[in-house]
Amino acid sequence: MTSEAGRWNAELYQSSHSYVWNYGRDLLSLLDPKPGERILDVGCGTGQLTDAAAQTGAEMIGIDASPEMIVDARKNHPQIHFQIANAEALPFVEEFDAAMSNAALHWISDHRAALTSIARALKPGGRFVFEMGGHHNLRATMQAGTDALRALGISDPEKLIPWYFPSIGEYAPLLESAGFEVKIAAHIDRPTRLEHGEEGLRHWIEMFGGYALAAVAPERKDELIRHWEYAARPALFLNGAWVADYKRLRVLAVKS
């Protein structure tokens, strides 16, 4: 997950990974929030996208399982209600006109539980708009990471990867079994230029590669990152910058 396994570095997230929520702004046109609607942001992070939705006049509630993210969200946007909550067990029943989620669902372990929990939080007819990693998201990036771990003596490094990146065909049935009707689904290629030039992949690994960093001794973390950069450079270092091979799954679904 992060440079410290199981914890989020909210400051690093805001300073070096603003593309996460900037790209997520496209979700707002699909969500089409309206004044007076009550909308839940699932996996709100540090709250930038929650705030953008609130500026339409909707009443926003942001939830995240990370205390570090919620602390920064409250500091950044004190006018919005944020709370620590797990998407797999939300404390809401038919309270929201809509829900949104950006770059969060692929971190979740139990997708059936999470989608059922989100559906339960929505009123009948409530819409759910989300974007998450899609099939083959970060394929080259993760292959370089597993090659680097294997070079440092870690066996079966693929088993350490924490994410689930489904295809439309995999995820639509999960949504339907949770009580949603899928209205729009798209699989989008989104190569993303990372910030900080030559250091861009290092920053990405420090933010999102905690699963790999935690697998080696602290004194070998820099060695792991160097191996990772070496393995990834032929495919992902382009015109003086690192480009992450993102592929996104974007969906609009409605609670039946």
Max CA separation in the chain (angstroms): 56
2 domain residue, yes or no: no
Q: How confident is the model at residue 84 (pLDDT cuts 50, 70, 90)?
A: very high
pTM here is 0.89
Residue 22's pLDDT is what?
60
Q: 180-208, pLDDT tens digit by residue?
A: 999 999 999 999 999 999 999 999 999 99
104 domain residue, yes or no: yes
Over residues 52-64, the mean pLDDT reads: 97
149, pLDDT greater than 70: yes
**How many domains are contained in the chain?**
1
Q: 93-147, pLDDT tens digit by residue?
A: 999 999 999 999 999 999 999 999 999 999 999 999 999 999 999 999 999 999 9
Over residues 206-235, the mean pLDDT reads: 97
217, pLDDT greater than 50: yes
Q: How confident is the model at residue 10 (pLDDT cuts 50, 70, 90)?
A: very low
Q: How confident is the model at residue 17 (pLDDT cuts 50, 70, 90)?
A: very low
CA 197 vs CA 37, 59, 103, 240: distances in Å: 41, 38, 23, 6
237 domain residue, yes or no: yes
Over residues 158-172, the mean pLDDT reads: 97
- 24-30 own/partner pairs: CB under 8 Å, 24+ apart: 24/49, 24/102, 24/103, 24/131, 25/49, 25/52, 26/131, 26/250, 27/100, 27/102, 27/129, 27/130, 27/131, 27/250, 28/52, 28/53, 28/56, 28/100, 30/129, 30/184, 30/250, 30/252
34, pLDDT greater than 90: yes
Report how far residue 16's alpha carbon sits from residue 22's, in angstroms, rounded to the nearest whole number: 12
**Which of 113, 105, 222 minimizes the C-alpha distance to 163?**
105
165 domain residue, yes or no: yes
Supply the CATH number for residue 64's domain: 3.40.50.150
Residue 88 lies in domain: 10-255
Instruction: State the chain's mean pLDDT as an integer.
Output: 92
Residue 7's pLDDT is what?
52
205 domain residue, yes or no: yes
1 domain residue, yes or no: no
Over residues 6-22, the mean pLDDT reads: 49
Q: How confident is the model at residue 3 (pLDDT cuts 50, 70, 90)?
A: very low
Q: What percentage of residues in the chain have a pLDDT greater than 70? A: 91
Residue 26's pLDDT is what?
83
For residue 238, how many other CB atoms are within 10 A of its CB?
A: 11
Asked whether 252 and 129 are in contact (CB, 8 A), the reply is yes
9, pLDDT greater than 90: no
Residue 2's pLDDT is what?
36
Q: How confident is the model at residue 19 (pLDDT cuts 50, 70, 90)?
A: low
